[in-house]
Amino acid sequence: MRDVIQRIIATESEARLIVDAARTEADRILSDARTKGKDIVERARQEGESRRKSHNVNIRVKITKIQKDIEKLQLENYSKCRALSDPHIFRDEETAKDYGRRLKEIEQELLLLDGKIKELEKQIK
């Protein structure tokens, strides 16, 4: 009877050791999974941030190009206005009409480009 009790106690001790080892292994696996999960989330966040920055840079490049176009149009507008104030050019009816038409076109183009800039600025994240 005593032998049976000792075997039961020994078996119970072995079972505890096995359960403790299994718990330790499970804790290690869980810890590794959490670490990997955090790494995946961080990598995804960084990739998203990188895509956002790239997107914003592309939009800023487009805006800069449009702003340069606006400056060119404003310069042309200024030169046409100055030319129209010159009595020699103003006497030439055909040139004056062409300049007047071009001034209207420039005004419309400037409004269009301003609208494009506002639309692009809304896309910045």
**79-124 pLDDT, tens digit each:** 989 888 888 766 778 888 898 899 999 999 999 999 999 999 999 8
- Global pTM value: 0.67
CB 113 within 8 A of CB 77: no
Residue with tokens 């020699």: 88
Contacts of range 55-58, beta carbons closer than 8 Å, 24 or more positions apart: 55/123, 55/125, 56/124, 56/125
Residues 60, 62: Cα–Cα separation, whole Å:
5
